[in-house]
């Protein structure tokens, strides 16, 4: 086994102690100290450098049946991570390589080499493999182009538009020839980011008033595509502004993730009959066949500065939970990342 010198004997990792009811509380979690994981055949030991926190993780804290298994109690949680290989029992991955994997929420991880993807820090900063060039980027690409069947000339509305996925959706739409791109966000600063840096044609702060009225003012001719990250009043507003044959791609509904009672559905679903509209949910895991095309097309946009992105960094494994709660609050601009 090849390994780097001076490995610690203790590993710190976040465990879920109890399943949150409503808003997650600190006492639902603990930062545990465990032994450094031992390596089996075909595994690598990774010193994590960047950890991802994402809205979908709230769903995994529940025991409810879903598209992915819930986190186990008293066990380390999982999430995207990028780090340096510090020991290797695998033929194709060497000490010093950087890899992307799914054993985040901890300092060190033992990973099957078949589940680790090599990434090159000389091509792009390591953190981008958790954001614009990673799962959020592919989510934006697949949701807009495949699920929502975007076509040139469409008017596009994106909720949560200053987040890791939403900001990319709007920019990809512009690069692909959208007639108009509108975004919603939760602060004046984020609205300014959307219009002045990301190139959105219009944006509004959903906290400033009725979302339906603000959307109609921003998109007087209606919208052809709505990319939903929020749900609730945003979904209802989009249905109200949907043009004939409009499409809605449901990526997330962060507004209801901490609800203890079922949220009421949109009151205007009957309008889909008039507009021949379509609502379709999607998961990025169903679209990994698009990964090569995504990298081929989006990679140059990032390198050439045509596709802008933001990252919000929180330092230290001890602040991993606070970073996650910050995502639920909307504290982040762009991708929220924990730097170890």
Convert the pLDDT of each residue in 48-92 to its tens digit.
999 999 988 998 999 887 778 899 999 999 999 999 999 999 999
Q: What is the pLDDT of residue 264?
A: 72
Q: Give residue 259's pLDDT.
A: 64
pLDDT at 5: 61
Cα 67–73–75 angle (5° rounding)? 95
Do residues 161 and 169 lie in contact, with contact meaning Cβ atoms separated by under 8 Å?
Answer: yes
Residue 110's closest CA among 47, 35, 45, 15? 45
How many CA atoms are closer than 13 Å to the CA of 189, on its beta-carbon side? 6
Q: Could you say which residues of the chain have pLDDT below 50?
A: none
Which pLDDT does position 275 carry in this prediction? Answer: 97
| pLDDT score of 69 | 86
Residue 67 confidence (pLDDT): 75
Of the candidates 330, 336, 104, 127, the residue with the CA atom closest to the CA atom of residue 229? 330
pLDDT, position 156: 98
Q: What tokens does 161 get?
A: 């538009």
Classify each residue of 156-192 as buried b or exposed e, where b means 16 or more C-beta atoms within 10 Å of its C-beta. bbbbbbbbbbbbbbbbbbbebebebbbbbbbeeebbe
Looking at every residue in the chain, the average pLDDT score rounds to 93
- How would you label 271-288 residue by residue, b for 16+ Cβ within 10 Å and e otherwise? bbeebebebeebebeebe
Amino acid 321: pLDDT: 98
pLDDT the model gives residue 65: 76
Note whether 111 and 276 are within 8 A (CB). Answer: no
Residue with tokens 């699920």: 147
The confidence score (pLDDT) of residue 225 equals: 98
């Amino acid at each position: 086994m090849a390994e780097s010198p001076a490995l610690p004997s203790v590993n710190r990792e976040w465990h879920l102690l109890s399943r949150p009811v409503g808003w997650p509380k600190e006492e639902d979690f603990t930062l545990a100290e465990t032994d450094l994981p031992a390596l089996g055949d075909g595994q690598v030991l990774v010193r994590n450098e960047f950890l991802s926190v994402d809205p979908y993780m709230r769903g995994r804290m529940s025991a409810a049946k879903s598209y992915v298994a819930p986190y186990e109690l008293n066990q380390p949680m999982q999430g995207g991570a990028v780090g340096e290989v510090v020991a290797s029992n695998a033929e194709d991955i060497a000490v010093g390589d950087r890899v992307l994997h799914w054993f985040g929420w901890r300092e060190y991880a033992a990973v099957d080499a078949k589940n680790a993807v090599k990434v090159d820090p000389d091509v792009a900063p390591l953190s981008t493999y958790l954001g614009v060039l990673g799962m959020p980027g592919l989510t934006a690409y697949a949701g807009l182009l495949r699920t929502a069947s975007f076509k040139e000339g469409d008017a596009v509305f994106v909720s949560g538009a200053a987040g890791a996925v939403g900001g990319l959706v709007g920019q990809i739409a512009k690069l692909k020839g959208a007639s108009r791109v509108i975004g919603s966000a939760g602060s004046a600063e984020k609205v300014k980011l959307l219009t002045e840096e990301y190139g959105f044609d219009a944006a509004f702060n959903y906290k400033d008033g009725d979302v339906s009225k603000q959307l109609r003012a921003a998109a007087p001719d209606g919208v052809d595509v709505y990319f939903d990250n929020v749900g609730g009043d945003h979904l209802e507003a989009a249905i109200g502004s949907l043009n004939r044959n409009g499409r809605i791609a449901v990526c997330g509904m962060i507004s209801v993730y901490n609800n203890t009672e079922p949220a009421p559905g949109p009151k205007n679903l009957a309008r889909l009959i008039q507009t021949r509209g379509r609502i379709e949910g999607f998961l990025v895991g169903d679209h990994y066949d698009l990964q090569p095309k995504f990298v081929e097309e989006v990679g140059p946009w990032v390198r050439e500065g045509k596709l802008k992105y933001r990252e919000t960094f929180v330092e230290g494994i001890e602040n991993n939970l606070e970073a996650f709660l910050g995502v639920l609050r909307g504290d982040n601009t762009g991708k929220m990342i924990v730097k170890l």
